[in-house]
């Protein structure tokens, strides 16, 4: 596991600074993403813990409800499925964190508690309003958001599901995740925060670098890892 280097985009450059400073990162684990298996989690968590001063893991079960509803499940079914899937991921993470503690390694890995830390946070609500407004006003952002959502849903929905209609629901997952990341420095009282992920995430990088609205979010960065 290593950091992908040499990308000239400003969000990456800010991320390299956070790597150098061993700063604060947010690491999301997507429910239903096969990448985040037990063995990979046991590799990721020690790497994150060693490389950064503070790690917040986002297991976005609360907002993943939108993805399950897009797949055709009812609200009740979606909540049940996301809760079970989220608990499985969290259990894998907790075992990896416990292994760190048993070795006496630094205990700097925590979970994002969405209902307590995010859901009713005023900065999150502010950023969510901004992101929704951008989705309505910027054709480029709306196009990129829908394409990003469809790329996930295509492999997850049944053939008889209307993809366009599914995307209208599923895109809310993306918008809420982006709003959280924009709000994260104030939520966690940090000057700068980076999101870390194992592949490119163009819509996030474009958003924080001001491509859609000319507003650069200089306190939010991106770090990409290579296996």
pLDDT at position 31: 79
**DSSP-derived 3-state class of residue 194:** strand
- State both tokens at 139: 């054709």
Alpha carbon 68 to chain centroid, angstroms? 17
pLDDT at position 155: 62
pLDDT at position 62: 74
pLDDT at position 102: 82
- State both tokens at 29: 């684990």
Contact 45, 109 (CB under 8 A): yes
Does 50 score more than 70 pLDDT? Answer: yes
pLDDT at position 57: 95
Which residue pairs from 158-161 have beta carbons closer than 8 angstroms and sit at least 24 positions apart in sequence?
A: 158/71, 158/72, 161/71, 161/72
Q: Which domains does the chain have, with CATH numbers?
A: 2-226 (3.40.50.11710)
- pLDDT per residue as tens digits for the range 108-133: 999 999 889 999 999 999 999 999 99
Nearest to 50 by CA among 108, 119, 130, 134: 108
Residue scoring higher pLDDT (146 or 35): 146
pLDDT at position 197: 94
pLDDT at position 160: 52
The pTM of this model reads 0.91
- pLDDT per residue as tens digits for the range 30-49: 877 778 888 999 999 999 99
The H-or-E segment that residue 109 falls in is strand 109-111
Mean pLDDT of 175-180: 96
Mean pLDDT of 192-209: 96
The H-or-E segment that residue 209 falls in is none
């Amino acid at each position: 596991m290593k950091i992908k280097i040499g990308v000239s985009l400003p969000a990456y450059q800010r991320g390299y600074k956070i790597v150098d400073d061993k700063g604060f990162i947010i690491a999301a684990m997507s429910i239903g993403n096969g990448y985040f298996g037990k063995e990979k989690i046991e590799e990721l968590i020690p790497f994150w813990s060693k490389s950064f001063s503070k790690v917040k893991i986002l297991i976005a079960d609360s907002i993943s409800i939108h993805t399950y509803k897009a797949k055709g499940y009812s609200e009740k079914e979606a909540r049940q499925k996301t809760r079970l899937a989220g608990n499985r991921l969290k259990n894998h993470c907790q075992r990896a964190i416990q292994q760190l503690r048993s070795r006496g390694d630094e205990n700097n890995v925590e979970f994002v508690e969405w209902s307590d830390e995010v859901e009713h946070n005023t900065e999150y609500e502010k950023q969510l309003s901004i992101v929704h407004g951008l989705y309505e006003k910027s054709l480029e952002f709306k196009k990129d958001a829908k394409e990003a959502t469809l790329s996930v849903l295509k492999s997850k929905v049944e053939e008889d599901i209307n993809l366009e209609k599914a995307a209208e629901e599923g895109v809310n997952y993306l918008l809420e995740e982006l709003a959280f990341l924009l709000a994260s420095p104030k939520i966690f009282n940090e000057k700068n925060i980076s999101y870390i992920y194992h592949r490119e995430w163009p819509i996030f990088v474009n958003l924080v670098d001001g491509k859609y609205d000319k507003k650069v979010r200089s306190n939010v960065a991106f770090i990409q890892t290579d296996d």
